[in-house]
Amino acid sequence: MNNVAKSGLMVLPRHSQSHAAGQEVRCAVRFPLALPVVLSTGTAEFGALTRNVSASGVLFEMSTPLQVGLNINFSLRMPGAVLGTPHDVLVHCSGRVVRCCISQSQYQAAATIDEYQFAEQ
């Protein structure tokens, strides 16, 4: 299966999630999307790639670690195919970093989405 859509976005394979003891139970559906994004802290900007996105949070992959508790702003261009809309939708988000760790050679930063607004197009 080809993972690169016409828009240039890569859809990542889904991993099954179990509800066995000791494993995380998710509150929102996560979409395994690789979307380029720029995170802004108000004083600095960082390039990142999403690994998955939900209504309540996002996992970023990046070359720089982020401090837990850091407030961030970012915009996501969500594919219409994922949202069930005829066109991609730009969403402006604000949230905060809840964890950051290194995985292989990249950092993975998980952030909440505390507020979001759909951009008019």
Mind listing the pLDDT tens digit for each residue in 54-111?
Answer: 989 999 999 999 999 999 999 999 999 888 899 999 999 999 999 999 988 999 999 9
CA dihedral of 44, 7, 63, 1, whole degrees rounded to 10: 160
Nearest of 38, 110, 101 to residue 74 by alpha carbon: 38
pTM of the model: 0.75
DSSP state of 7: T
- Please tell me the predicted confidence (pLDDT) of residue 42: 92
User: Which of the pair, 103 or 25, is modelled with greater confidence?
Assistant: 103
- Please tell me the predicted confidence (pLDDT) of residue 28: 74
**Cα 101 from Cα 115, distance rounded (Å):** 24
Label residue 63 left, alpha or beta by phi (over 0 means left) and psi (-120 to 50 means alpha): alpha
DSSP state of 80: H
The model's pLDDT over 37-64, given as tens digits with 9 standing for 90+, comes to 999 999 999 999 999 999 899 999 999 9
- Please tell me the predicted confidence (pLDDT) of residue 120: 72
What domains lie within the chain, and their CATH numbers? 29-118 (2.40.10.220)
**Cα 11 from Cα 30, distance rounded (Å):** 12
